[in-house]
Amino acid sequence: MINFALTKIKIQNLSKYYKIVSLPLIMIEQSILEITSDLSRANKIVIVPHKGPDGDAIGSCLALYHFLKEKGHSVQVIAPNDFPQFLKWLPGNEDILIYENKVEQCKKLIEEAEIVFTLDFNMLNRAGDMVDVLTASNASFIMIDHHPEPSDYANHTYSDSTMSSTCQMVYKFIHKLHGLKLITPEIATCLYTGIMTDTGSFKYRSTTSETHRVIADLIDKGADNAKIQNLIYDTFSESRMRLLGVALQNLKVNKELKTAYITLSQEELDKNNFRKGDTEGFVNYGLSLEGVVFAAIFIEHKAEGIIKISFRSKGTFSVNDFARAHFNGGGHLNAAGGKSDLSLENTEIKFNSIIHEYREQLLSL
Ligand code: 5GP
Ligand code: MN
How many Å lie between the centroid of ligand 1 and the Cα of residue 331?
5
Q: In what order do the strands lie in the sheet with 252-254?
A: 252-254, 259-264, 294-301, 306-313, 335-340, 330-331
- 20-24, 184-188, 293-297, 301-305: the lowest-pLDDT one: 20-24
- On whether both 135 and 283 belong to a single domain, the answer is no
Output the furthest CA–CA distance in the chain (Å, rounded): 60
Which residues sit with Cβ closer than 5 angstroms to ligand 2, an ion? 56, 120, 165-166, 198
Q: Is the CB of 310 under 6 A from ligand 1?
A: yes
- On whether both 260 and 145 belong to a single domain, the answer is no
Mutation pick for ligand 1 pocket among 119, 123, 125, 147 (CB with most ligand atoms within 8 Å): 147
353 alpha carbon, distance to own chain's centre: 29
Question: What rounded mean pLDDT belongs to the chain?
Answer: 92
Q: Is the CB of 277 under 6 A from ligand 1?
A: no
- On whether both 201 and 268 belong to a single domain, the answer is no
For residue 226, pLDDT over 50 is answered with yes
pLDDT (tens digit, 9 = 90+) per residue, 331-357?
Answer: 999 999 999 999 999 999 999 999 999
- On whether both 255 and 283 belong to a single domain, the answer is yes
**Among residues 232, 264, 285, which one ends one of the domains?**
232
pLDDT (tens digit, 9 = 90+) per residue, 7-32?
Answer: 444 433 323 233 333 333 444 667 88
Q: Is the CB of 312 under 6 A from ligand 1?
A: no
Region 58-68 average pLDDT: 98
pLDDT (tens digit, 9 = 90+) per residue, 149-158?
Answer: 999 999 999 9
3-state SS of the chain is CCCCCCCEEEEEECCCEEEEEECCHHHHHHHHHHHHHHHHHCCEEEEEECCCCCHHHHHHHHHHHHHHHHCCCEEEEEECCCCCHHHCCCCCHHHCEEHHHCHHHHHHHHHHCCEEEEECCCCHHHHHHHHHHHHHCCCEEEEEECCCCCCCCCCEEEECCCCCCHHHHHHHHHHHCCCHHHCCHHHHHHHHHHHHHHCCCCCCCCCCHHHHHHHHHHHHCCCCHHHHHHHHHCCCCHHHHHHHHHHHHCCEEEHHHCEEEEEECHHHHHHCCCCCCCCCCCHHHHHCCCCCCEEEEEEEECCCCEEEEEEEECCCCCHHHHHHHHCCCEECCCEEEEEECCCHHHHHHHHHHHHHHHHHHHHCC
- On whether both 115 and 195 belong to a single domain, the answer is yes
- On whether both 181 and 65 belong to a single domain, the answer is yes
- On whether both 201 and 243 belong to a single domain, the answer is no
How many Å lie between the centroid of ligand 1 and the Cα of residue 38?
30
pLDDT at 31: 82
Residue 2, domain member (yes or no): no
pLDDT at 27: 46
How many domains, in total, are found in the chain? 2
Confidence of residue 33 (pLDDT cuts 50, 70, 90): confident
Q: Is the CB of 150 under 6 A from ligand 1?
A: no
Region 117-122 average pLDDT: 97
How many Å lie between the centroid of ligand 2 and the Cα of residue 224?
21
- On whether both 118 and 267 belong to a single domain, the answer is no
pLDDT at 30: 74
Give strand pairing partners of 71: none
**Among residues 232, 266, 284, which one ends one of the domains?**
232
- On whether both 111 and 227 belong to a single domain, the answer is yes
**Percentage, residues of the chain above pLDDT 90:** 90
Q: What domain range is 73 assigned to?
A: 8-232
Residue 3, domain member (yes or no): no
- On whether both 54 and 196 belong to a single domain, the answer is yes
- On whether both 219 and 308 belong to a single domain, the answer is no
Q: Is the CB of 53 under 6 A from ligand 1?
A: no
pLDDT at 28: 65
Q: Is the CB of 194 under 6 A from ligand 1?
A: no
